[in-house]
Amino acid sequence: MLVSVEELRRYLGGYDPEHPSMLEEMANILEGVQLQLETWLNRPVELVQVREVALTDGKGNLYLSVTPLRKLISYGVGVGSITAPETTYTPYTRTPDALIGVDGRMIEKTDHRFAAPTYSNGRYFMGMPNTGYIVEYIGGIDGTQCPDIKLAIKRVAAREFTQAHVDVVGQRQGHAEDVEVGDNRTIGWTTAELTQLQRYRRRIAL
> Is there a cis peptide before residue 68, judged by omega within 30 degrees of 0?
yes
Residues 47, 65: Cα–Cα separation, whole Å? 13
103 and 80 within one domain: yes
Boundary residue ending a domain (94, 113, 139): 139
More confident residue, 189 or 106: 189
Flag whether 62 is in a domain.
yes
Instruction: Answer whether residue 174 shows pLDDT above 50.
Output: no
Mind giving me the DSSP string for 43-96? S-SS-EEEEEEEE--TTSEE--SS-SEEEEEEEESTT--EEGGG----PPPP--
117 and 53 within one domain: yes
Helices 20-41 and 147-164: angle between axes, nearest 10 degrees:
130
Residues across the chain: 206
12 and 87 within one domain: no
| Lowest-pLDDT choice from 73-82, 86-95, 133-142 | 86-95
Instruction: Answer whether residue 177 shows pLDDT above 50.
Output: no
Instruction: Answer whether residue 116 shows pLDDT above 70.
Output: no
Flag whether 206 is in a domain.
no
pTM of the model: 0.72
107 and 82 within one domain: yes
More confident residue, 185 or 80: 185
The tally of domains found in the chain comes to: 2
Pairing state of beta strands 123-125 and 61-62? Answer: antiparallel
Identify the domain containing residue 123 by its residue range.
48-139
58 and 88 within one domain: yes
